[in-house]
A and B are shown apart, each in its own frame.
Chain A
Amino acid sequence: MITINSLTFQYPQSSQPVFKNLTFEIAQGSLTLVTGESGSGKSTLLRCFNGLVPHFSGGLISGDIDVFGLNPIEEGPEILSKEVGFVFQEPEAQFIYDSVEDEIAFTLENAGMPYAAMHSKVSEIIHQLKIEDIRHRKIRQISGGEKQLVAIASALVGGKKLLILDEPTSQLDPQTADELLSHIKKMKQEQGLTIIISAHRLERLLPYTDNILHLAKGADPIYGPPQQVLSQIDLVPPIIEIAKKLKISPLPIKIEEFPKISPSNSTTHGIKSNNLNDETNRSILIIKNLSVIFDKQTILKGINLNIRKGEILSIIGPNGAGKTTLLRSILGLVHKKGQIILNGDEIETLDFAQIIRQIAYLPQNPNDLLFADTVTEELQITLKNHGLEKSQEELVSFLSRFNLVDKKNAYPRDLSIGERQRVAIAAITIFEPEIILLDEPTRGLDYSTKSALYTFLKAWSDQGIAVILITHDVEFAAQIADRVTILEGGKITFTGHPRVAFTQFKPYQTQTARIFPGRNWITTQDVVNN
Chain B
Amino acid sequence: MKNTAVWIFWFLTTLVLIFFMQNPIYLIIFLLGLISLGYHLSEKDEKSTWLKKNLQFLATIIFVSAFINGLFTHSGKTVLFSFPDSWMLIGGSVTLESLTYGAINGITICAIFLLFRVLNCALSVKQLTRLIPRALYPIGMIISISLTFFPSIQRRICEIKEAQMIRGNPMKKIRDWLPILIPLLVSSLENGIILSESMTSRGFYTRKTKNTPIFLIIGLIIGTFSIFSGWIFLIYDYPAYYYLPLFILGGIIIFFILRALSIQIETTKYHQEKLSKNDFLFLVFNLTFVFIFSSFMIFGNPTSLSYSPFPAISFPKIEFIPIFLTLLTYLPIPLITYDHH
* A contacts B: CB pair < 8 Å: yes
Spell out A's residues near B (CB within 8 Å). 47, 50, 52, 56, 77-78, 81-82, 84-86, 88-90, 92-99, 101-102, 105-115, 118-119, 122, 139-140, 154-155, 331, 333, 352-353, 356-357, 359-361, 363, 365, 367-371, 381-382, 385-386, 413, 427-428, 431
- Nearest to B194 among chain A residues (CB) is A93
- Output the least CB separation between B45 and chain A (Å): 16
| Complex contacts, B190 vs chain A, CB 8 Å | 93
Contact A365 B187 (CB under 8 A): yes
Q: Which of B141, B148, B156, B168 contacts A95 (CB 8 A)?
A: B148
Q: How far is the CB of B62 from chain A (nearest CB, A)?
A: 40
Known pairs A140-B152, A356-B166, A427-B167; A368 contacts B159 (CB<8 A): yes
- Whether A96 lies near B168 (C-beta < 8 A) is no
Residues in B whose Cβ lies below 8 Å from that of A122: 270
Asked whether, in the complex, the Cβ of A331 is within 8 Å of the Cβ of B166, the reply is yes
Residues of B close to A52: CB separation below 8 A: 197, 200-201
- Contacting chain A: which of B19-27, B240-248, B261-269? B261-269
Cα distance A361–B179 in the bound complex, in angstroms: 16
- Residues A369 and B203 in contact in the complex (CB < 8 Å), given A115-B270, A385-B169: no
With a CB–CB cut-off of 8 A, which chain A residues contact B168?
353, 356-357, 382, 385-386, 431
Taken together as a complex, chains A and B put the C-alpha atoms of A220 and B270 apart, in Å, by: 47
CB distance from A526 to the nearest CB of B (A): 36
Residues of A contacting B269 in the complex (Cβ-Cβ under 8 angstroms):
109, 115
Residue pair A428, B267 in contact (C-beta under 8 Å): no
Q: How far is the CA of A77 from the CA of B199 in the complex (A)?
A: 10
**Does the CB pair A110–B167 fall under 8 Å?**
no
Q: Known contacts A93-B191, A96-B141, A96-B144: does B179 contact A110 (CB below 8 Å)?
A: no
Complex: chain B residue closest to A139, CB-CB: B148
- Docked complex Cα distance between A88 and B199 (Å): 11
Q: B267: which of A90, A112, A331, A386 is its contact (CB, 8 Å)?
A: A112
Q: Across the two chains, which residue of chain B brings its CB closest to A151? A: B198
Residue of A nearest to B176 (CB): A385
From residue A231, how far is it (CB to closest CB) to chain B in Å?
Answer: 35
Q: How many residue-residue contacts, CB under 8 A, span A and B?
A: 152
B151 at the interface (CB under 8 A from A): yes
Taken residue by residue from 307 to 318, chain B's Cβ proximity to chain A (1 for < 8 Å, 0 otherwise) reads as 000000000000
- CB <8 Å contact, A93 and B200: no
In the bound complex, residues from chain B placing their C-beta under 8 Å from that of A357 are: 168
Cross-interface CB contact of A371 among B145, B148, B179, B206, cutoff 8 Å: B179
With beta carbons under 8 angstroms apart, the residue of A101, A140, A369 that contacts B183 is A369
Whether B270 and A81, one on each chain, are in contact in the complex, defined by CB atoms closer than 8 angstroms, is: no
The smallest beta-carbon distance between A85 and chain B, in angstroms, is 7
CA distance A331 to B268 in the complex (A): 51
Q: Across the interface, do A88 and B187 meet the contact criterion of CB distance under 8 Å?
A: no
Interface hub of A50, A78, A89 (most chain B Cβ within 10 A): A78
Q: Which residue of B lies closest to A369 (CB)?
A: B163
Interface assignment of B116: CB less than 8 Å from any CB of chain A: no
Q: Taking the nearest CB of chain A, how far is it from the CB of B155, in angstroms?
A: 9
Q: Residue of A at shortest CB range from B198? A: A94
Q: Which of B258-313 contact A (CB under 8 A)?
A: 266-272
Closest residue of B by beta carbon distance from A78: B203
Answer yes or no: B235 CB below 8 A from chain A CBs.
no
CB <8 Å contact, A97 and B144: yes
A92-B152, A97-B144, A370-B183 are known contacts. Are A113 and B268 too (CB-CB below 8 A)?
yes
A84 vs B152: C-alpha distance when bound (angstroms): 28
Task: Identify which of A97, A118, A155 contacts B148 (C-beta below 8 A).
Answer: A97
Collect the chain B residues with CB atoms within 8 Å of residue A371's CB: 178-179, 181-183
Task: Tell me if A107 and B203 are in contact (CB < 8 A).
Answer: yes
Q: How far is the CA of A365 from the CA of B198 in the complex (A)?
A: 22
CB distance from B187 to the nearest CB of A (A): 6
**Bound complex: CA of A239 vs CA of B277, how far in Å?**
65
> B144, A110: Cβ atoms under 8 Å?
no
| A98 partner, pick from B147, B156, B165, B203, beta carbons under 8 A | B147
Known interface pairs A331-B166, A369-B167; A155-B183 also in contact (CB < 8 Å): no
Check: B214 CB closer than 8 A to any chain A CB. Answer: no
Of the candidates B182, B268, B272, the one whose C-beta lies within 8 Å of that of A109 is: B268
Residues of B within 8 A of A386 (CB): 168
Q: Is the CB of B164 within 8 A of A369?
A: yes
Q: Is B203 within 8 A of A110, CB to CB? A: yes
Per the bound structure, the CA–CA distance linking A369 and B180 in Å amounts to 8
Determine whether the beta carbon of A382 is less than 8 Å from that of B167. Answer: yes
Docked pose: A97 CA to B190 CA in angstroms = 18
| Bound form: Cα–Cα A111–B181 in Å | 38
* A92 near B191: Cβ-Cβ < 8 Å: yes
The residue of chain B having its C-beta at the shortest distance from the C-beta of A110 within the complex is B203
Check: B186 CB closer than 8 A to any chain A CB: yes
Report Cα–Cα, A405/B276, bound state, in Å: 70
Select from chain A the residue with minimum beta-carbon distance to B180: A371
Q: Which residues of the partner chain A approach B169 to less than 8 Å between Cβ atoms? A: 385
A-chain residues with CB within 8 Å of residue B266 when the two chains form the complex: 112
Cα of A413 to Cα of B195 in the assembled complex, Å: 20
- Distance of A389 from chain B, by nearest CB (Å): 14
B202 at the interface (CB under 8 A from A): yes
Please, which residues of chain A bring their CB within 8 A of the CB of B195? Answer: 93-94, 96
Q: Does B123 contact A (CB under 8 A)?
A: no
Say how far B230's CB is from chain A's closest CB, in angstroms.
37
B239 close to chain A: CB less than 8 A:
no
Evaluate contact between B198 and A363: CB separation under 8 angstroms.
Answer: no
| Bound CA–CA A377/B201 (angstroms) | 39
Q: Is B339 an interface residue (CB 8 A)?
A: no
- Residues of A with C-beta under 8 A to B182: 370-371
- A386–B300 Cα distance when bound, in Å, is 79
Taking a contact as CB atoms closer than 8 A, the residue among A84, A105, A365, A385 that contacts B270 in the complex is A105
Alpha-carbon gap, A320 to B195, bound state (A): 27
Q: Tell whether, in the assembled complex, residue B197 and residue A96 are in contact, meaning their CB atoms are under 8 Å apart.
A: no
Is B9 an interface position by the 8 A CB rule?
A: no
Kindly state whether residue B213 has any CB partner on chain A within 8 Å. no
Please, could you name 14 A-B residue pairs with CB atoms under 8 Å apart, sorted by A?
Answer: A81-B200, A81-B203, A93-B190, A101-B270, A106-B199, A110-B205, A139-B148, A363-B159, A368-B156, A369-B183, A370-B182, A370-B183, A382-B167, A385-B170
Q: A368 is contacted by which of B147, B187, B201 (Cβ under 8 Å)?
A: B187
Interface assignment of B319: CB less than 8 Å from any CB of chain A = no
A86 B198 Cβ-Cβ under 8 A: yes
- Contact (A368, B163) CB under 8 Å given A93-B194, A112-B268, A382-B168: yes
Counting CB contacts under 8 A, is B160 at the interface? yes
Q: In the bound complex, how far is the Cα of B195 from the Cα of A86, in angstroms?
A: 12
A97 and B195 alpha carbons, distance in the complex (Å)? 11
CB <8 Å contact, B167 and A115:
no
* CB-contact partner of B201 in A86, A353, A369, under 8 A: A86
Q: B83 on the interface (CB 8 Å rule)?
A: no
A115 in contact with B268 (CB, 8 Å): yes
Q: What is the CB-to-nearest-CB distance from A364 to chain B, in angstroms, rounded to a whole number?
A: 8
Other than the given A102-B271, A331-B166, A367-B187, 13 more pairs (CB < 8 A) read: A56-B197, A77-B201, A77-B203, A90-B191, A93-B194, A99-B126, A111-B203, A112-B267, A356-B166, A368-B160, A369-B183, A371-B182, A413-B186
